[in-house]
Amino acid sequence: MAARRQANTRASPLAKNLGASYASFVMRRHLAPGLGALASVLLSCAALIAVPYARSAEPPVEFTVEVTDPIRRPLADAVVYLEEPPSRAAKPRRAPYVMDQVGMELVPRVLPVPVGSKVVFPNKDSIHHSLYSFSPVKTFEIDLYKDKKAPEVVFESTGAVQLGCNIHDWMGGTVLVLPNAHFAVTDKTGKAVLRLPARRLPFKLAVYHDRLRGGTEKTTRLVEPSAAAKPLIWRLSLDDDRRKKKPSALDAGYR
């Protein structure tokens, strides 16, 4: 009985061939159309996914920016920026930003950085410096140092961080922490070129200056991409310049 049962469970070569042929027929008859439809859906999805990347490959929109005071004198070190959250595809910069200490001055005077950035403050002078910030956006202090690597400071919140030196009270600067990496700083002529990713929606732009009267919200405007054909002009109302000037002659007490 066991031998007969074992023999019955064995399929003959003919049965195997017939089974394979039937399985192939079923796949062609019922599964192939479904696979074709699935392939069509996948291709459609791939096309949809490719659209944003195709648009991102377009050249950026370039705005020529001009910033002056009310009587049209050019303003250097004004920051024009995109006032929008960063895109999900944006990757933080690995290398830190740099604000130098040279000739007992902070250079540049205004340093814009995206939120989450690291900044170093190397001392290139032959004397000691001690940087600090009491700004609520970022409070820190770097003890006296020279001839050694400056520590990195991470800026986790947006806003203007005012800096000073405990020894040289005329040394002042600003780290402007912005929501994204789309910004430009005006030169001595008050001009800059702001490059923004190509799109059809208007851009929300704003301007910062360390002597700006009132908040940056007064400078905010919506700008259509088509406006790149003409310069964008801001005329800012400024507070009086109350910053201390670097002494023309320094005694040994500052060193």
Written as six digits, the tokens of 72 are 């049209």
Element containing residue 192 per DSSP (H, E): strand 191-196
Euclidean distance between CA atoms 100 and 4, whole angstroms: 93
Please give the chain's pLDDT, 255 residues, in tens.
444 444 444 444 444 443 444 445 444 555 455 545 544 544 454 444 444 434 456 889 999 999 999 999 999 999 999 999 887 666 778 899 999 999 999 999 999 999 999 999 999 888 889 999 999 999 999 988 877 788 899 999 999 999 999 989 899 999 999 999 999 999 999 999 999 999 989 999 999 999 999 889 999 999 999 999 999 999 999 998 877 777 776 554 555
Task: Kindly report the pTM of this predicted structure.
Answer: 0.74
Q: Domain 61-246, CATH 2.60.40.420 — does that match?
A: yes
Written as six digits, the tokens of 54 are 């195709």
Would you say 148 and 140 are in contact if contact means Cβ atoms under 8 Å apart?
no
